[in-house]
Amino acid sequence: MKQMKLAGKTALVTGAGRGIGRGCALELARAGAEVAINDRQESAQTASLKAEIESLGRKAIVVAGDAFERASCESIVERAARALQRIDILVSNPAFSRRGDFLDYDPNTFEQTLRGTLTAGFHMSQLVARQMVAAGGGGKKNVKSSVQSRNT
């Protein structure tokens, strides 16, 4: 039987409805973690991911909310921590991107891209780090990949 390296750990993955976030959530579950799935809203994609994680014998919850807004981030972290008892791992995967020609690129779209990628990642990371410290386990942030894990 494969060893579960993350057995007993909990994870919150933002932007988990598809793409990289979905893949991260599945790999965390395969490694033994219980997973809080975040996307802007509940959808067929989040329901499918939840079912797939549960089929692996892991607990999964959907925590809908907009990771681009600080108040929503606070709610996402609070609901995930309450449902899973704590958060040990964060995969902060918010993103917004629109392609366009540089000379014609809309400055408001550029600002939204920064907010959706950098600012949202900051808010989620700070809030989860605070939760980790309050839970008494400290924390570790891997800046390169925007993944946090609690040392236990």
Q: Does residue 152 have a pLDDT over 50?
A: no
Label residue 29 by pLDDT band (50, 70, 90): very high
What is the structure's pLDDT at 70? 95
Question: 147-149 and 89-91 as β-strands: parallel, antiparallel, unpaired?
Answer: antiparallel
* Domains, the chain, with CATH or none: 10-149 (3.40.50.720)
Q: Are 117 and 125 in contact (CB under 8 A)?
A: no
Question: How far apart are the C-alpha atoms of 116 and 112, rounded to whole Å?
Answer: 6
pLDDT of residue 117: 84
For the sheet containing 10-13, what is the strand order? 60-62, 34-37, 10-13, 89-91, 147-149, 140-142
Distance of alpha carbon 50 from alpha carbon 39, whole angstroms: 12
Contact 95, 112 (CB under 8 A): no
pLDDT tens for 106-126 read: 999 999 888 888 888 999 999
25: tokens are 């959530």
Q: What number is the average pLDDT over the span 40-47?
A: 96
For 47-58, what is each residue's pLDDT tens digit?
A: 999 999 999 999
Lowest mean pLDDT among 56-60, 88-92, 133-137: 133-137
